[in-house]
Structure 1
Amino acid sequence: MESPAIRASPQNTQVTGRSRRCSLSPSRARGDAPVRKHQIGVREVTSIGIIFVITKIFLPFQRSLSEAGGTAAWMIALIAAVLSPLTWWAIRGILRNATQGSTLIDATEEIWGPFLGTLLNLAYFCFFFTISFLVLREFAELLCSDILPRTPINVMLISLLLPISVVAHRGIETLGRLCWVAVGLIVGSVIIVLIGGLLTHAEPKALSPFWGTGMSNVLKTGIVKSSLFSEMLVFGFLLPRMRKSQQWGRSAWWCMAISAFTIFSTTIVYLFVFPYPTAIRLNVPMFEMSRLIIFGRWIQRLESVFLITWLISAVLKLAIGLYCSAASMSQILRLPKFQPLVFPLAILAYGFALLPGSEMTAVAWDGDLLRTYGSIFSIALPMMTWLAFIVRRGKKKQS
């Protein structure tokens, strides 16, 4: 009779260990963080998506739309919102047909192969990293120009990078919980600013003429500015971390609805409070609007209160961008954890944030690069990957 010692021999133990390693999910084998499955739920995923998309409203976002569309800037935001589901459909199509547990990075290499897949994944990394250092520079310039004018820009960048790096290093679960706590405060403060701005001053004929700079220009610009929702690419990292795949659509549609409402309402209210052409002359529209609010004799100068929530939103958005940059690069390099890349990428973001020569240069890079070509990364590349999978599956069925 075989003894237990023979059955538990080192050779058998080695084979068992090897089989266990081979049975790991693709995300663990490819180098994503060794975290527990079923980390975050619908509320956390929705909150991360909302904050990552809408934080741009605290930057010179409304002014850039007014420059492009004039009095019809609100229509550009509406067209971009209508096109935003394209990103969601493409990501859903990729992840549903990939190996269970795969992120967008895993699925892209699985479909395209190691060479083309790595090139596309590097493009995704560049997209998230560009968001990180450009938004970092813009918020630092906002604080230096309007809040702390005597503070050097490099000191402000470091002051922002420290909490951003710490939050990103903690991982997606911490980010989700913080975003869920903060999202109501952020959206609520925006609503208060919009209502206060309208009560303080509103021009009845602010949206006249209807087509602003021209119907063809507004429609074309609206299609190009579909990149306003390009941050929804973050769902490629969030959806595999959810408890149930049946809840994917619920998170995505709630994110799109709240984000579209916020972007559209801030744009149209801005035109009523600061009618065109004044709308193209203000540096930070939402901050200037908050300065106008007067709720009676004793409630004035509320911008200092709202600034706190906006800083929270900026830190969370940048932490999400830094996390996605580190997670995508770790999966490309097949590292076991993403945390070792967070602080090196933060230092790299600091260096890149100093590249624009001025605040207006940083704003121009954001408008001319991210908000013009961002849809290539968020719509074109995922759609192309999804179509490649459909074509490959059709060929397999024919053969």
Structure 2
Amino acid sequence: MEKGKISSLQMAFMLYPAIVATAILGVPSITAKYAKTDLWLSPIFAALIGYLTVYIAYKLHQLYPKQTVIQFTEKIIGRIPGKIFGFLLLFFYIQNTGLILRGYAEFVVGSFLVRTPISVIMVSMVLLCAFIVRGGIEVLGRAAELFVPVFIFPIFILIILLIPDLEFKNIFPVLADGIMPPIKGSIVPGGWFSEFFLMIFLLPFLVDMKKGMKSGMMSVFAVMMTLIVVNLTVLFVLGSTTSTKLYPLMNASRYISFADFFEHVESAAMAVWIVGAFVKISVFYYVSALGTAQWLNLSDYRPVVWPIGILIVIFSLWSLPSSVDVSRNDINVFPLQGILMQTIIPLLLLLIAVVRKRNRKGTETSRMD
């Protein structure tokens, strides 16, 4: 099926942009609608979902070390229920990859390539990702290792360049309405943090599996800190208008100006962000293709790469007709759907697996007696 191997560090480099790449764009605006000036606190609460999800994924992997969730679910809850859950999870990931692709294309077309047909943007990205997915997990891991620093470094350069425009008073009052607004604001980013369940598909291919939990937890911490810094930056620059912007970080970057010649850096920021989006879509695409092949009991996942790519494009075109629908989905549908499919149900699977294992041990002990 997949004979490649990656390190725990490469897994971390794959997971980080898989969550952060889209979260830094629209999530600050959504969070600000609920948390207002306390939007910087919401990622801390949301990260709890990420830590729990990583713990669940790693513990399930310890019970079934050479299998992904598509394979071992049948052992936990039976063949037919396992197949049904596997189908629903794959449908969720394929559809979600399409929605990520649509969000990426809406951002590029809406902000920069205004006259370019959105279908051209989406198809070109899927074609690019398909080639790296067919290359296998080692190619994907090396690409992430190469591109993620290129993605991270300019974000922090952008934030440093914004320092002259920061209004630190915008953070006050802190917790004026209590703790509930930032907790409510954490539900949407919580959906993004639940995506750390992707690691269940990557753990079987680690050369240093014992470091898997640590790498996953460090990735959660890195994502949390990135979102806190981004949320504080847009709050200090945009203030109370943060919630009215579709892409607050992009709006904030337009404030950068030095000596009237170093301006309009948002174009450079977009070029760098596309690198992160590429890694994110590739990871989701790979998981969808690998999981589908395992669900169909195929010996190789590569024959399904192109059919899955076509499905991703279809979902991206038909699921959400406009950018308004994309935003509405990010607020109302994806967070709850993501947490249910990637945290709550896997937690139930882990509990059932642990109980069944204990019962099996108890039965074996009684037979020996």
Range class of TM-score, shorter chain: over 0.9
1:96 to partner: Cα distance: 0.6
Q: 1:132-167: CA deviations, max 9, x gaps? A: 111111111111111111111122222222212222
Alignment partners' CA distance in 1, 2:187 and 2:115: 41
2:174 aligns to what SS in structure 1? coil
> Which moved further from structure 2: 177-186 or 350-359?
350-359
Q: How far off is 1:386 after superposition?
A: 0.8
How does 1:96-245 map onto structure 2 within 5 Å?
96-98=62-64, 100-197=65-162, 199-211=163-175, 214-222=178-186, 225-245=189-209
Say if 2:24 is the partner of 1:35. no
Aligned residues: 362
Is the partner of 2:202 in helix, strand or coil?
Answer: helix
Whole-angstrom distance in 1 between the partners of 2:168 and 2:208: 48
Decide which moves more: 104-113 or 240-249.
104-113
Choose which of 363, 366, 387 in structure 1 pairs with 2:327: 363
Matches of 2:92 and 2:191, distance apart in 1:
12
Equivalent position of 1:68 in the other structure? 34
Between 143-152 and 216-225, the greater mean CA deviation after superposition: 216-225
2:248 alignment partner in structure 1: 285
Q: Provide the alpha-carbon RMSD of the alignment.
A: 1.8
Q: Is the 8 A contact 1:185 1:309 kept in 2?
A: yes
Contact 1:69/1:212, CA 8 A, preserved across alignment: no
- Partner Cα distance (1:345, 1:91) in 2: 24
Structure 1 outlier segments of 4+, above 6 Å: none
SS at match of 1:292: coil
Secondary structure of the 1:60 match is helix
Query: For residues 280-332 of structure 1, what are the alpha-carbon distances to aligned partners after superposition, in whole Å with 9 as ceiling and x for unaligned?
Result: 22122222222222244543222222222111111111111111111111111
For 2:117 and 2:51, the matched residues in 1 are separated by: 41
> Matched residues in 2 for 1:164 and 1:253: separation?
27
CA contact (8 A) 1:72 1:211 kept: yes
CA-CA distance at 1:212 after TM superposition: 5.9
Structure 2 partner of 1:264: 228
Tell me, in whole angstroms, the C-alpha distance in 1 between the residues paired with 2:119 and 2:87: 28
Instruction: Give the aligned partner of residue 4 of structure 1.
Output: none
Cα distance in 2, alignment partners of residues 82 and 270 from structure 1:
23
- What is the aligned partner in structure 1 of residue 44 from structure 2? 78
Alpha-carbon distance in structure 1 between the residues aligned to 2:62 and 2:159: 39
2:19 corresponds in structure 1 to 53
- What's the offset of the Cα at 1:52? 0.5
Contact 2:195 2:342 in 1 (8 A): yes
Give the gaps of 5 or more residues in structure 2: 364-369
CA contact (8 A) 1:58 1:287 kept: no
- Asked if the contact 2:188–2:331 (Cα under 8 Å) also holds between the matched residues in 1, the reply is no
Following superposition, the deviation at residue 113 of structure 1 comes to 1.8
Letter in 2 for 1:204: F
Compute the displacement of 1:213 (Å). 5.8
Q: Provide the C-alpha distance between the structure 1 equivalents of 2:42 and 2:180, rounded to a whole number of angstroms.
A: 11
Q: State the one-letter code of the partner of 2:38.
A: A
Q: Name the amino acid aligned to 1:35.
A: K
In structure 1, which of residues 303, 307, 311 is the aligned counterpart of residue 274 of structure 2? 311
Q: Please give the alpha-carbon distance, in whole angstroms, between the structure 2 residues aligned to 1:301 and 1:224.
A: 30
Shift of 1:215: 3.0
Q: 2:203·2:212 contact (CA, 8 Å) conserved in 1? A: yes
Aligned to 1:299: 262
Compare CA radii of gyration and give the structure with the larger one: 1
Amino acid aligned to 2:356: R
- The structure-2 alpha-carbon separation of the partners of 1:112 and 1:44, relative to structure 1 and needing over 3 Å to count, comes to same
- Please give the alpha-carbon distance, in whole angstroms, between the structure 2 residues aligned to 1:206 and 1:376: 35
Measure, in 1, the Cα distance between the counterparts of 2:347 and 2:82.
Answer: 14
Tell me how far 1:235 sits from its aligned partner.
Answer: 0.7
- Aligned counterparts of 1:148 and 1:221: Cα–Cα separation in 2: 31
Q: Which runs of 5+ in 1 are unaligned?
A: 1-32
Shifted more, 334-343 versus 285-294: the winner is 285-294
1:192-226, Cα deviation, whole Å (9 max, x unpaired): 122222x2312222122323665334324435642
TM-score scaled by structure 2? 0.93
